[in-house]
Chains A and B, each alone.
Chain A
């Protein structure tokens, strides 16, 4: 990359990144309306073939009533309790922004150090 091009490339890059984020946010707003409520491939298979005894003993081991997660989740099932669709949209937007911040933070911390020659 020649130095004369770097300003143009930078603005092209931020456009590309902003475009991506806007697409993600639009998907997030649409998701609560268009996502299918049918169980996914794994849950569907489990519904038909799971060994109930094995499941039962695993659940007993970790002290759960039914399969799920041992940790409490603030937005379980991508929703905010008592907030209907608005809560689902909000949960998605929070998730997208959280992911953006975490991805940026982790990548920024890990990125290779600038060459001293620069």
Chain B
């Protein structure tokens, strides 16, 4: 879902840079208050894993493919949407600067869609469903995060004049309703694994094993 340069005009790119810089600043503030000795290597390896898994595009039919984003998963593990925002900002920075994946001018919009939206939607869906089971909550959170992010992306492209409103929402919604299943399943598998093998790594488990 990386928007390339050219899809939205410069003025709109600038607005999303400003919005994203505000959220990244809030994420930095979160990290300063919450990142501890134990979080540092976990944050780094989660970034490496998300970078790697994002490169695997899975065919979803209709000549289309999709890949995971990961902001929802990071937010669930670190118990804050700001963790997902910070991590995705770094992943997108590397993808944009070194791999031509997502434009530099539109990077603010990409951080907003895949970082801010995915993290907030995924985290709060997960948090509200957690009592029904970790895996179910993680699956729904992952799916909803990706789907919502695609809808927001489509609206940005409509504002830009590059996508018509209804056709944009239909195409983006349909493709990402399916791609969201990939996000949901991987998020559920990872969260389910950590919750059973290393619950002490998850703050919301009540610090069991601590």
Please count the residue pairs between chain A and chain B whose beta carbons lie under 8 angstroms apart in the complex.
Answer: 251
Residues of A within 8 A of B31 (CB): 106-107, 110-111
List chain B positions with a Cβ less than 8 A from chain A.
1-10, 28, 31-53, 55-60, 62-67, 86-87, 90-91, 93-105, 150, 153-154, 160-164, 167-168, 171-172, 175-176, 179, 198, 200-201, 209-210
Residues of A within 8 A of B8 (CB): 58
Residue pair A71, B104 in contact (C-beta under 8 Å): yes
Is A70 interfacial (CB 8 A cutoff)? Answer: yes
28 A-B pairs whose Cβ atoms sit less than 8 Å apart in the complex:
A16-B201, A24-B49, A27-B53, A28-B52, A35-B55, A36-B58, A38-B64, A41-B60, A41-B179, A42-B3, A44-B64, A59-B6, A61-B9, A62-B105, A67-B5, A67-B6, A69-B104, A70-B5, A70-B104, A70-B105, A76-B100, A95-B94, A97-B48, A99-B90, A111-B37, A112-B32, A112-B33, A112-B36
Interface SS, A side: helix
A64 and B5 alpha carbons, distance in the complex (Å): 9
Residue pair B57, A40 in contact (C-beta under 8 Å): yes
Residues of B within 8 A of A40 (CB): 1-2, 57, 64-67, 179
- The number of residues on chain A lying at the interface, defined by a beta carbon within 8 Å of a beta carbon of chain B, is 72
- A36 with B5, Cβ < 8 A, contacts A24-B51, A69-B102, A103-B87 known: no
Which of chain B's residues has its CB closest to A99's CB?
B51
Is A11 interfacial (CB 8 A cutoff)? Answer: no
Is A1 interfacial (CB 8 A cutoff)? Answer: yes
A62 and B98 alpha carbons, distance in the complex (Å): 20
Is A45 interfacial (CB 8 A cutoff)? Answer: yes
A98 and B47 alpha carbons, distance in the complex (Å): 10
Max chain A CB contacts within 10 Å: which of B52, B60, B160? B52
